[in-house]
Amino acid sequence: AQRVTQPEKLLSVFKGAPVELKCNYSYSGSPELFWYVQYSRQRLQLLLRHISRESIKGFTADLNKGETSFHLKKPFAQEEDSAMYYCALSGHDYGQNFVFGPGTRLSVLP
C-alpha cells in the first residue's frame, strides 16, 4: 500500500538558516509527489509538485526514486515560512489515490 512518512512533527530553525523538511514514500509504481502548505488561519494549498520542477517561494523539492524521498528545501528561511507542511503522493490505481503524510510544523524563529 502506498504510504507517506514525515519523520519530524516539529522543526524549528532561525531566520536565514537553511531548511529541509523530510518526506519519504512507499509506492510500487511511478508516483506523483506534492508539497501542500497550511499557513495559520488559512486553507490548505498546493506549494509545489515534482513534475513542475519549479521553485515556489524559494522552496525546491527533488524526487529521488532510489531513496524514495521528496525532501523540501529552502536555503534561507523566512519568518513567513512558518506553517504546517504536508507531503502527498498520488498513485494511479483504484484505492491508491491521494495520500497525505502526517505533516511537519515549521517554526522560523527571529
Partner 1 sequence: EAGVAQSPRYKIIEKRQSVAFWCNPISGHATLYWYQQILGQGPKLLIQFQNNGVVDDSQLPKDRFSAERLKGVDSTLKIQPAKLEDSAVYLCASSEWERGEQFFGPGTRLTVL
Applying CB under 8 A, the residues found at the interface with partner 1 are 4, 32, 43-46, 49, 86, 88, 90, 94-95, 97-103
Q: Which is nearer to partner 1, 68 or 100 (CB)?
A: 100
Could you write out the DSSP letters of every residue in the chain? --EEE---SEEEEETTS-EEE--EEE-SS--EEEEEEE-TTS--EEEEETTT---BTTBEE--BTTTTB--EEESS--GGG-EEEEEEEE-SSTT--EEE---EEEEEE-
Q: Which is nearer to partner 1, 55 or 78 (CB)?
A: 55
Q: Which is nearer to partner 1, 69 or 90 (CB)?
A: 90
Distance of closest approach, residue 37 Cβ to partner 1, in angstroms: 11
Q: How far apart are CA 43 and CA 83, in angstroms?
A: 11
Q: Which is nearer to partner 1, 17 or 51 (CB)?
A: 51
